Amino acid sequence: MTRNAATALCLALFCAVSVPAQASCDASSFPIAVDIGHTAESPGAISAHGRTEFEYNLALGQQLAASLKSAGFPVGTIIISGEGKAQLKQRVDKANRLDPRLLISIHHDSAQERFLKAWEFQGRILRHADQFSGFSLFVSRANAEPEDSKKFAMLIADQLLDGGLSFSSHHAMNVVGERKQLLDPARGIYEYTNLRVLKDSRMPAVLLEAGVILNRDEELALASPQRRMAISDAITTAAIQMCGGNGAGGLALR
């Protein structure tokens, strides 16, 4: 079956397909920026087992950069130091200087304070939120390329879901700090209009929360090389589809 026939069949069935790499994708002329969320000085959430979000972001971001490079993409990895708004501005400035065709910002998720429960691990009192699990994707309608941002997020979601992962809907909960609009309830894609790295980057941009590191079991999975590899491969496949120029060809309702 040709790819077009497969896509037509899929659209007729309202299914999601893994579209094979496009012959028209010249990865070497399609640079991609991998943004490592947070900094060593301001490392984000503390996981259920006491590690920092930044450690997780760095490990996954480096694996993703390697996966993209092996697919032929030039990759710019954005690692910023410092704290506060200054590091956010540096991050966006770096992304815009790199001038990639796509930007993916790598994060790991937490939960609102009210949901955290104390537990003891290796003599430390830590906190967990085992009731939440799964990935989340964020895009901004204020981004310069909102449609391609959303398309990239949909392609990533389809790869992650087809790989057996699931998304979290906790960012849509009606509690302070959440209340995000779930743009695509079948794919875990949220609108986050004013998120700086999405709003001010001049290329299609997606932020991935790879999973919830406050969930004790999910954290252990996220710490494994296998999970990092699976997520990296999913994003790389989505990037190849974007690079092929008709990434939405296989997209339909899930």
Q: Site residues (CB under 5 A) for Zn ion?
A: 37, 44, 107
Task: Give the residue from 65, 60, 64, 67 showing the smallest Cα distance to 75.
Answer: 65
* Closest to Zn ion by CB, 84 or 245: 84
Cβ-based nearer residue to Zn ion, 136 or 236: 136
Which of 44/61 has CB closer to Zn ion? 44
CB of 228 to Zn ion, least distance (A): 16
Residue pair 231/128 in contact (Cβ under 8 Å)? The answer is no
DSSP 184-248: ETTTTEEE-TT-HHHHS-SS-EEEEEEEETTSHHHHHHHTSHHHHHHHHHHHHHHHHHHHTT-GG
Q: Which residue is nearest to Zn ion (CB)?
A: 107
Q: Residue 211 or residue 249: which is nearer to Zn ion going by CB?
A: 211
Distance, CA of 195 to CA of 78 (rounded, Å): 17
**Residue partners of 254: CB distance under 8 A and separation at least 6:** 16, 158, 161, 186, 187
As measured in angstroms, the least distance from the Cβ of 180 to Zn ion is 14
In the complex with Zn ion, the residue whose CB is nearer, 107 or 228, is: 107
In terms of Cα–Cα distance, which of 132, 246, 151, 164 is closest to 204? Answer: 151
Identify which of residues 37 and 188 has a Cβ nearer to Zn ion in the complex. 37
Residue whose CB is less far from Zn ion, 107 or 171: 107
Residue 33 DSSP symbol: E
Residue 110 Cβ vs Zn ion, minimum distance, rounded to whole Å: 7
For the bound state, the minimum distance from the C-beta of residue 198 to Zn ion, rounded and expressed in Å, comes to: 13
Cα–Cα dist 45/213, whole Å: 8
Q: Which two tokens stand for residue 244?
A: 């092929």
Residue 7: CB minimum distance to Zn ion, A: 35
Q: Hey, what's the torsion of the CAs at 30, 36, 37, 40, to 10 degrees? A: -160
